[in-house]
Amino acid sequence: MLSDLIFFVQIAYWLSIGLLVASVGLAVATLWVQRAVEASARRRALTFSAWQEVLGAGASSPQLPSAPDPRDAFVVLCAWCDLVADESSGADGERLRRIAYESNLDRVARRFLHGRDPAAKIAGVRALGYLGEPSENAALKALTRAPDRELALAARISLRAMPGSRQLSLDGGD
């Protein structure tokens, strides 16, 4: 009887030790994930501010950064699209297009256009529309019939934004 009691006490002891180790492990994992998310947010904020300086600069444009880090390409491309779309900013569209080509944002947009992420695909569609890339007209026209309404609308708007494009009807016809 005493040996049974000692056995149950030992089981309870080792179970509590196991739970303590698991709890500490989960706490460490949570802290690690939190720090990784914070570092990613700081890196994106720094990238965004650096590119905002380049994109918002006037004639005295600072040195262009290299192509955006693949992890930050979405943020940079969205910032570029927002600046081009914002007519009240007075931004020179030709200068922004030159910056996009020199920093390979056109390649990033093409990669996003043919990628799987819907938000990145919409950003790629927007950018290619603002760049006026005729090489992607077929892909953009195909996307006007996409089952994703937001993507189809973005493709239609991009096709309309292209210089020298003819107007598409909103029902998706050519």
The answer to the question of residue 114 being in a domain is yes
pTM score of the predicted model: 0.64
Instruction: Give a yes or no: residue 67 inside a domain.
Output: yes
Q: Is residue 124, in this structure, part of any structural domain at all?
A: yes
Q: Which position has the token pair 């107007």?
A: 167
Q: Is residue 84 part of a domain?
A: yes
In a domain, 73, yes or no: yes
145 vs 138: CA distance, rounded Å: 12
Residues sharing a CB contact under 8 Å with residue 151, sequence separation 6 or more, in sequence order: 118, 121, 122, 125, 143
Number of domains the chain is built from = 1
Residue 55 inside a domain? The answer is: yes
Could you read off the pLDDT tens digit of each residue along the chain, which spans 174 residues?
A: 778 889 999 999 999 999 999 999 999 999 999 999 999 889 888 887 777 777 776 545 556 666 677 777 888 888 888 888 775 455 577 778 888 888 888 888 889 988 888 888 999 998 888 887 778 788 888 888 888 888 888 888 888 877 665 544 444 444
Q: ∠73-87-57 over CA atoms, to 5°?
A: 55
Q: Which residues span the domain enclosing 83?
A: 48-161
